[in-house]
Amino acid sequence: MFGFLKGKNKEIMIGSPVKGKAVPISEVNDPTFAEEILGKGVAVIPEDGKICAPAAGELSMVFDTLHAFSMTTSEGVEILVHVGLETVSLKGKGFTAHAKAGDKVEKGDLILTADFDVIKGEGLDTIIPVVICNTDEYKAVETLAGKEVNAGDDVLQISPK
């Protein structure tokens, strides 16, 4: 009878973009992320350089410098995945794109590869913040951190209003 209400307030799960260790975003050594200026989120200390889509949706932007991408999930969640800190300074060195803005992606699809030897060789941090840019549109954004994860494993739980 009230089938139209079914799934209306279902939790939205966002996956890790990479294999590694999920940590609270407050551990990111950059106040823009740690103080949640761009939104709530999580960070992953990566073990490999395969950076994947954390959810199904559409890529809004793949930065020209390939250090970050943004996407909007099929539920409307706006996600920023930032590979490393200050990596924009590399101007694409050590990064390869496997997708472009406008592409429809599924959770786990390969978006970028990052050569962390190159990034570390430049003295840069490889931590990967994953930020929900439209945090205010949701009742809660909860971090599922403090664990080893594979790409696609749930690291954020979003509660609709």
Q: Which residues are catalytic?
A: 82
DSSP-assigned letters across all residues of 83-116: -SSSGGGGTTTTEEES--TT-EE-TT-EEEEE-H
Closest by CA to 161, choosing from 47, 10, 2, 6, is 10
Residues in CB range of 29: below 8 A, 6 or more apart: 85, 125, 127
Query: 5 — phi, psi (to 5°)?
Result: -85, -20
What residue type is assigned to position 99 of the chain?
Answer: A
